[in-house]
Amino acid sequence: MSDPRYPIGPMPIHLSLSPEERQEALGALRALPAELRAAVHGLDDRQLDTPYREGGWTLRQVVHHVADSHMNAYVRVKLALTEENPTIKPYDEGRWAALPDSLLAPGVSLELLEALHARLLAVLEGVQDWGRLWTHPAQGRTTTLDTLLGMYAWHGRHHVAHITGLRGRQGW
C-alpha cells in the first residue's frame, strides 16, 4: 500500500458488521478526538501548514476536514434513524477545506470534535437496527448504518495516519 493518500488502505464498504466489528468501530470513533489531538500535539504553525503529501491538504486542513466530515456523518446518522431510507446531501470536501475556517487553530476543531463525538456516540450506542438504510445520491448506492459506522471509523484513522505519517517522515 504505497499510495500516500491511503496510508491505511481504502475505505471499507461493508453492508453489515458483526457485533465485535461494531464494538471495534465504536471504540475507534470514541478514541478519535484524543488521537487527533495527540497527532498534532506540539506542532508549530509552519508544521501545521505543511501538506501531508505533495499536493495534499495541510495538517491544519486535515484536522478541520475531519470535523467537516464528521459533522456530516452525525447528520447522516440522525437522518437514517428518523426517516425511511433518506437521500443524504453530499458536499464538496475540497471546497469546504478551502474556506477560511480551515485557517483557524486546530484546537477549534478538536474541541468541536470532542463535543460532536460525545453526541455521535450517544446516538450510535442507542441504535437498535444497524440495517437501517440511507442513500448516497451521487454514488447511487443504498447502504446501512453499519456501512456508515465502518466508513467513519476508518475515516478518522485514515486522517490521523496522514498526520502521524508526515511527522514520522519529517522526524517531528
Question: Percent helix, strand, coil in the chain (nearest 5)?
Answer: 60, 5, 35
Query: Nearest 5°: phi and psi at 87?
Result: -90, 120
Contacts made by residues 160-163, CB under 8 angstroms, sequence distance 24+ = 160/32, 160/35, 160/36, 160/39, 161/7, 161/8, 162/7, 162/52, 162/53, 162/56, 162/57, 162/59, 162/62, 163/36, 163/39, 163/40, 163/52, 163/59, 163/62, 163/63
Annotated binding-site residue numbers for Zn(2+): 65, 155, 159
Annotated binding-site residue numbers: 65, 155, 159
